Structure 1
């Protein structure tokens, strides 16, 4: 009979909380320590994480020396999908705030996603994605954000800025012309769609199954920067 086995605990910097990695049979699961028991991530159900990397990177794969940013390493599936969709001359930066999550991806989680941190196109940044955006004006062809449960289902209040109008404006400033912003969410959020429009994006809500073609569906906003939004 399968049971949850705690593999490790990773403190969240400047938060006071922690993430916990569990082994459950052949799968791994990440939860918030002391939370409601809900799973944040699961190696068996990552269809929407794959789509978060695939959809925007396919749109910019033809750009010469495409440069993209993944906000939130998670279990590595979005990073792996982005690398698969891009060419050999691309660069994929991934910003992850929690050191323990990085170590898990270098260790037990690595094989599940195909060891994307070992790809020579990957640049790993152990820092807040907001800080990366601030120092990279016009730096990216695509930005993919999966740092929480989405704009409506935040588990950490510190992440709220990223989904605010100021945060979306920062994303717009960090994109190159014809840039694409993709945002993962556990659920739809009409107010967030409106903020994307005010920040100068033409956005589409895409519903993606978490696993296969049935069950839970997640929302991904695919937001293309409108011409003239950046000078």
Structure 2
């Protein structure tokens, strides 16, 4: 078997350990320390995050999608394939090197999706875009860190705590959906979603499509399609 070769490293704001881009033949992987965060051969669950969420937007005109975490582009590509030509997809990526890798050594993995006119790529914390306005998004898809139990950056916890859930609800349109990817189950986070006013479905897609480890995708929406909450975003 071919050995892994380290291609590059990139600092993560607010974190001591850098991300490492590794390659083995045609396979790429991104590690945080000794933990593999993503692999170019195993993106089935990240694709499912987008497909399942976009199914709930079927028939919506000019949907506005926010994706938190660029990764290797699996969620972005699946969203673009599921949405019509009038969609707007904003992607927030905090780590500059992840963006550079997407345009460099991982360009073959991304397959030109960053050049799609529907896409706006932001080098920013997704939390800032979530707070851009009440009802600003029809879908918020979070694939940040390793899910609610973060590995790389403590500040990511604010996306998943009680205030983070409230901010997401405030930022979604009445028929909007919050999709969250996680490396494993988290009953406390699911309960926070439910206690925060969401109706929640939990799906466990495999990382390799029909094979591979099972990950978790939560799909959360308002139970009664209530009006968008007014006022400013809760909690800063």
TM range (shorter): over 0.9
Match of 1:60 among 49, 52, 57: 57
* Pair 1:23 & 2:20 matched: no
Cα-to-partner distance string for 1:126-162 (whole Å, 9 max, x where unaligned):
0000111112321111010011111135432111111
* Contact 2:17 2:152 (8 Å CA) reproduced: no
Is the contact between residue 149 and residue 157 of structure 2 (CA under 8 Å) also seen in structure 1?
no
Aligned pairs for 1:119-198 within 5 A: 119-198=116-195
> Cα deviations across residues 181-216 of structure 1 (Å, max 9, x unaligned)?
000001111111110011111001100000132331
CA contact (8 A) 1:66 1:91 kept: yes
CA distance in 2, matches of 1:114, 1:28: 14
Unaligned runs of 5+ in 2: 230-236
Partner of 1:210: 207
Higher deviation after alignment, 201-210 or 51-60: 51-60
What 5-or-longer segments of structure 1 have no aligned partner?
Answer: none
TM-score normalised over the length of structure 1: 0.94
| TM-score, with structure 2 as normaliser | 0.93
Work out whether 1:38 is the aligned partner of 2:57.
no
Q: How does 1:104-115 map to 2 (within 5 A)?
A: 104-115=101-112
Between the two proteins, the alignment pairs up a number of residues equal to 228
Higher RCO (CA < 8 A, seq sep 6+): 2
RMSD of Structure 2 on Structure 1 (CA)? 1.3
State how far apart, in whole Å, the 2-side matches of 1:89 and 1:55 are.
Answer: 19
CA distance, structure 1, for counterparts of residue 148 and residue 186 of structure 2: 7
Q: Are residues 1:91 and 2:84 paired? A: no
